Amino acid sequence: MSEREPRIVDAAALQRVGLQISGDPGIRGELRYENPAWIFGHRLKNCSVGAFTFFNAAGLTSAYRVQFGRYSQIGESSVIGPPEHPYDWFSNHPFAFTRPSLLPSMYVMPEFVRLAPEESDAPSFADETPNDTIIGHEAYVGVGCFVKRGVRIGDGAVVGARSVVTRDIPPYAIAVGSPARVVRLRFEDHIVERFLALEWWRYDLAPFKQRVDFANVEATLAFFEERKSLGELQPLRPDSYRITQSDAGLMLHQLDRPLYFA
């Protein structure tokens, strides 16, 4: 995936290219996103965000190495994909397993430098553990949830408020509790199968918004199934960007293709 020449941007410039932020944008490492996305001031470290994904503007959500699909919705005060520690090592403290490039804020202390590992090209603990957490297209994570690193929440799934997700959630399932368990599907099996076959998030639905009633599930599903069979659905190809940090501020790099379904 190639990029155009990067440029320094502020909040107003980011909004013009489809990213809604507020205050401290909370971007750590890098952020990849499709236009539009709403992250406000939530803390996102090395994440990717699909088109039309939004975070509740209130509270503070933290996400680490998470791939958010298109149209996903994230409640406030959630923690998604936090780093793991090696519980079966001599010590699970970072001095035993981190590297300067992974946790630079700790290496500013000389006493920590004396004790902790030096930089190395050899695999680190972080390299050898599940890293990416997947939030599917049109998945919904409710307020105050915890999602364990490496978990996959399927397309169209719903996670109830205050749930603790420690294992994968199937597509279009509703899961609640601590630990979260599936209580039912959003729709009957045959409807879920049709949704998964359609993959409506791949397409530009805007030209048809006056012709459907989104509250009427089966009629709308049938309408878009027909449009797809007739070749009338056009791929959604949003402008996509990568944001990194520099001493001068946030740097915006435009990508040459979307994050998803390129």
Closest CA to 61 of 169, 137, 144: 144
Distance, in Å, from the CA atom of 17 to the CA atom of 240, rounded to the nearest integer, reads 9
Task: Pick out the chain residues at pLDDT < 50.
Answer: none
Please provide the size of the chain in residues. 262
Please report the pLDDT score of residue 1 as a whole number: 57
| CATH 2.160.10.10 boundaries in the chain | 7-84+131-186+239-254
pTM of the model: 0.92
Distance, in Å, from the CA atom of 186 to the CA atom of 71, rounded to the nearest integer, reads 16
Please report the pLDDT score of residue 24 as a whole number: 78
Which is the CATH superfamily of the domain at 7-84+131-186+239-254?
Hexapeptide repeat proteins (2.160.10.10)
Please report the pLDDT score of residue 9 as a whole number: 86
**β-strand pairing of 37-40 with 19-21:** parallel
Please report the pLDDT score of residue 177 as a whole number: 98
